[in-house]
């Protein structure tokens, strides 16, 4: 079945550092890809998404590009802030499967 693999954390960075979280996927169809973020004590919220190959999703300074040739959707931010400390989840949905499959989550801590 469809699955998502993302880099394990935790990741600890200093403020203004560059952040990359790797995500690769396995799917039989043509999935849409998502990054969700979970701040401490809260539920998940959508950060960005891409629905087809070569699409770039972006929000709050974060970006991810849907790479079909490498089956990847890596999350990047050029300059992180303390407020970016959270757990980040890569996910995919396939219209044929009617489910949202999440990766294990990557905990990111940004130090001032």
Partner 1 sequence: DAGVIQSPRHEVTEMGQEVTLRCKPISGHDYLFWYRQTMMRGLELLIYFNNNVPIDDSGMPEDRFSAKMPNASFSTLKIQPSEPRDSAVYFCASSLDWGSSYEQYFGPGTRLTVT
Binding site for partner 1 (CB under 8 A): 30-32, 34, 41-46, 49, 51, 89, 93-95, 98-100, 102-105
Three-class secondary structure of residue 14 per DSSP: strand
Instruction: Report in angstroms how near the CB of residue 102 gets to partner 1 at its nearest.
Output: 4
Minimum CB distance to partner 1, residue 17 (Å): 26
What minimum distance in Å lies between the beta carbon of 11 and partner 1? 17
Select 69 or 98, whichever has its Cβ closest to partner 1: 98
* Pairwise CA distance, residues 14 & 2, whole Å: 34
Of 101, 109, 111, the residue nearest 39 (C-alpha): 109
Q: Which is nearer to partner 1, 18 or 30 (CB)?
A: 30
List all residues 6 or more positions away from 69 whose beta carbon is below 8 Å from its beta carbon.
none
Instruction: Classify the C-alpha dihedral 36-37-42-45 as positive or negative.
Output: negative
Q: Which is nearer to partner 1, 29 or 78 (CB)?
A: 29
């Amino acid at each position: 079945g469809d699955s998502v693999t993302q880099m394990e954390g935790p990741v600890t960075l200093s403020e203004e550092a560059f952040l990359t979280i790797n995500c690769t996927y396995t799917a039989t169809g043509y999935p849409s890809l998502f990054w969700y973020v979970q701040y401490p004590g809260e539920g998940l919220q959508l950060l960005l998404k891409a629905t087809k190959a070569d699409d770039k999703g972006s929000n709050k300074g974060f970006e991810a590009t849907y790479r079909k040739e490498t089956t990847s959707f890596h999350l990047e931010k050029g300059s992180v802030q303390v407020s970016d400390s959270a757990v980040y989840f890569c996910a995919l949905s396939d219209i044929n499967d009617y489910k949202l499959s999440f990766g294990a989550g990557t905990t990111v801590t940004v130090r001032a």
